[in-house]
Amino acid sequence: MSAKVGRNGSRSIKVDYLTRVEGEGSILVKLKGDQVQDVQLRIFEPPRLFEAFLRGRHYLETPDIVARICGICPVAYQMSAVHALERILGITVDPAVRLLRRLLYCGEWIESHALHIFLLHAPDFLGYPDVISMAAGHRELVEQALRLKKIGNRVMTVLGGREIHPISVTVGGFHKVPAKADLRVLVDELAWARDTSVAAARIVAGLEFPDFKQDYEFVALSHPEEYPLNEGRLVSNKGLDIEVAEYGEQFVEQHVKHSNALHSRLRERGAYLVGPLARFNLNFDKLPETAQQVAGECGVTPPCRNPFRGIVVRAVELVFACEEALRLIAQYEAPAAPRVLAHVCPGVGHAATEAPRGVLYHRYEIDERGLILNAQIVPPTAQNQKRIEDDLWHYVPQLTGLPVETITAKCEQAVRNYDPCISCATHFVKVQRVG
Amino acid sequence: MLVLCCGNPDRGDDAAGLLVARRLRKLGIDCLEHSGEGLSLLEAWQGADEVVLVDAVVTGRPAGAVSVWDALAAPLAGWPLPGSSHALGLAEAVALGRVLGRLPRRVTLYGIEARRFELGKRPGRALLRGVVEVAKRIRADGADRRPPV
């Protein structure tokens, strides 16, 4: 971190490395008096060129390649990819396969949300520099978080073959599906996870939240019958209601000089927000009763426009993911076949699923041999970049009387509201504060 | 004794631990390859009495130079590579393990001085000398051997 005072009295706050986020990025905030002059979320994680890697590869290789984009949310990349490709090939998967995919996604939400809520973001609210310092005063909370994360990873291992970069997902289904007994062994731990998540949500709700609200456009998937994970229409609180295939007509990616990740905007209205807050506000009625009750007890009800309360919403979603996993396991009957085979045909397919951090859009074009001609991958952090900068534009004026170190810490906390995954987005941020 | 060799095969010299693992296997010594992600390291060494960790380090010494630390004797603060992540690194895993009382009785860290971490690059020649040396020292320190086939 560094701070400079210019000749004209302007101040710059530069956070050189944004920590407790995935990947490399920085934040630059320029102040003149109490006026913010510039905010830049600088993503210098090198471009990762996954879309280019995919060109010329056979479509069946896609789930394994895109899983490598992220070690925290590989399932999200696999899910968006297989759905998009299945749309090209006209594949409808067995209902049991659909159930298993939803269960696999629950595992990823559990491990990712547990990690972010308790190990990465809670230290900001409790005044610790990191989880190691926090563990001394909140040992039980940290131990619980580690066990929660482990349970999420266990679900991913049972369904995906391993906890990071699962290997069982394929276009049309799975290479191998579990027997009922394989899932039953998860029930006791998931029941503990659900009960612990409920208690943890109440603890998180007791944290101190800055008084900060914004008029966000929330964008998320919406499904008529369930809290969105793998499918649905793309909707917002400001009138958006489209099929995923219409994504390109409504959204645009733009290069900005200070970021190696493209900024996404709604063509008509600019910045928007994806992630837990958007999902919660747009799909509250689809949450199971337990999660709705916990949300009410925790003081979060839609519309929740305070991004700092996102940590509570994430905890509510953790309750949901555990509850949903238990429901799915209770319903599971192994499919007749693990996957559906299809004849290759050329075409274009789109899909969006709900990664832990928000909407993840994929588009593929394949030829008659099944080779990928074009791929487009729009991760949630890339979509939230502009919104993160806008939050800082509006939040920093509340902080200008504070010491630079305090402003810096609060800006980092504000960025972590979004749980940014910089590696995914570059295909993101050292925080540099100038002020 | 549990030998955990950490590294990333696609980041140049960061592959150091993995290269040591492959060499140890050829020497008949059991070991595990590991990404170095801290929370899963805590799981990996749970129940172990004695752990040997191998990873790339940057301390300013020449590339390939080997350093050995008793990880329990002093905090490894400042040891990890610069950067940021959703994941904790090896040094943070040791620090968190210390706070939570989740450390083996003995943790020895072999660090191989690394210089280049570019995506897709091969490890440098100087690093490979360190890989050979660490494998020899672990064998000499009495790691378990597989039964002869």
A contacts of B88 (beta carbons < 8 Å): 119, 131
Does A146 contact B35 at a Cβ distance shorter than 8 Å? Answer: no
Q: Is A77 within 8 Å of A158 (Cβ atoms)?
A: no
Does B92 touch chain A if contact means CB atoms closer than 8 Å? Answer: yes
Other beta carbons within 10 angstroms of residue B30's beta carbon come to 14
Q: For A119, which DSSP code?
A: I
The reported pTM is 0.88
For A312-332, the pLDDT digits (tens) are 999 999 999 999 999 999 999
**Is the ipTM of this structure higher than 0.90?**
no
Q: Which residue has the higher pLDDT, A35 or A273?
A: A273
Q: What is the DSSP letter of B36?
A: -
Mutate which of A43, A117, A132, A357 to disrupt the B interface (most B C-beta within 10 Å)? A132
Interface mutation target, options B32, B35, B40, B85, chain A, most CBs of A under 10 Å: B85
Query: Which one of B35, B37, B100 has the shortest CB-CB distance to A142?
Result: B100
Task: Break chain B into its structural domains and give their ranges.
Answer: 2-145
Q: Are residues A311 and A235 in the same domain?
A: yes
Which member of B35, B82, B100 has the closest CB to residue A139? B100
Output the CA angle B74-B80-B86, nearest 5 degrees.
120
Same domain assignment for residues A338 and A354: yes
Any idea which residue has 């839609």 for tokens? A302
pLDDT over 60 (residue A432):
no
The per-residue pLDDT of chain A, averaged, comes to 90
Q: Which of B37, B87, B96 sits opposite A132 (nearest CB)?
A: B96
- Residue B146, pLDDT > 70, answer no
Handedness of CA A421, A46, A162, A91 (dihedral sign): positive
Verify that A170 and A29 share a domain, yes or no.
Answer: no
A114, closest residue in chain B (CA to CA): B86
Cα–Cα distance measured from residue A315 to residue A258, given in angstroms and rounded to the nearest whole number:
33
Beta carbons within 8 Å of B39's beta carbon, 6+ residues apart: A115, A119, A146, A149, B87, B88, B93
Chain B contact set for A421 (CB, 8 A) = 86
A68 confidence band (pLDDT: 50, 70, 90): confident
Do A266 and A375 have their domain in common?
A: yes
Is A434 part of a structural domain of the chain?
no
For residue A184, being part of any structural domain is answered with yes
Percentage with pLDDT > 70 across chain B: 87
The band of A400, judged by pLDDT with boundaries at 50, 70 and 90, is confident
pLDDT tens for each residue of A331-377: 999 999 999 999 999 999 999 999 999 999 999 999 999 999 999 99
What residues contact residue A72 under an 8 Å CB cut-off, 6+ apart?
A22, A111, A112, A115, A356, A421, B86, B87
Tell me which chain B residues have a C-beta less than 8 angstroms from the C-beta of A21.
Answer: 84-86
Instruction: Kindly state whether residues A35 and A140 are assigned to the same domain.
Output: no
Give residue A429's pLDDT.
Answer: 31
User: Taking CB atoms and an 8 Å limit, are A17 and B119 in contact across chains?
Assistant: no
Where does the pLDDT of residue B92 fall: very low under 50, low under 70, confident under 90, or very high at 90 and above?
confident
Nearest-5° angle of CA B37, CA B39, CA B41? Answer: 65
For residue A431, is it within any domain? no
The predicted pLDDT at position A23 comes to 58
Cross-chain CB nearest to A18 (options B37, B43, B84):
B84
Q: Give domain status of residue A194, yes or no.
A: yes
Residue A205 and residue A290 in one domain: yes
Would you say A106 and A197 are in contact if contact means Cβ atoms under 8 Å apart? no
* Cα three-residue angle A80-A312-A384, rounded to 5 degrees: 45
The interface residues of chain B toward chain A in range 54-73, judged by CB-CB distance below 8 A, are: none
Do A156 and A169 touch, CB atoms closer than 8 A? Answer: no
Tokens 């996957």 appear where?
A: A339
Q: Which residues form the domain of A27?
A: 2-43
Topology at the third CATH level for domain B2-145: Rossmann fold (3.40.50)
Mean pLDDT across A273-299: 97
Q: Do A269 and A370 belong to one domain? A: yes
Q: Are strands B50-57 and A10-15 parallel, antiparallel or unpaired?
A: unpaired
Residue indicated by tokens 């895993």: B93
The whole-angstrom distance between A77's CA and the closest CA on chain B is 17
* CA-based nearest residue in chain B for residue A18: B84
Number of domains in chain A: 2
Nearest-CA distance from B102 to chain A in Å?
A: 10
- Which of B82, B84, B119 is opposite residue A46, by nearest beta carbon? B119
Residue whose C-alpha is closest to residue A257's, from A15, A13, A44, A430: A44
Smallest CA–CA distance from A25 into chain B, residue: B84
Mean pLDDT of A181-185: 97
Predicted pLDDT of residue A428? 30
Contact A387, A395 (CB under 8 A): no
Asked whether residue B82 carries a pLDDT value surpassing 90, the answer given is no
Instruction: Pick the residue from chain A with its C-alpha nearest to B43.
Output: A150
Report which of residues A37 and A2 the model is more confident about. Answer: A37
Q: What are the tens digits of pLDDT across the range A161-171?
A: 887 788 999 99
Per residue in A23-61, pLDDT tens? 566 788 888 777 888 888 877 665 668 888 899 999 999
Parallel, antiparallel or unpaired: strands B50-57 and B106-113: parallel
Mean pLDDT of B26-39: 90
Residue A126's CB is within 10 A of a number of other CB atoms, namely 14
Residue A219 lies in a domain: yes
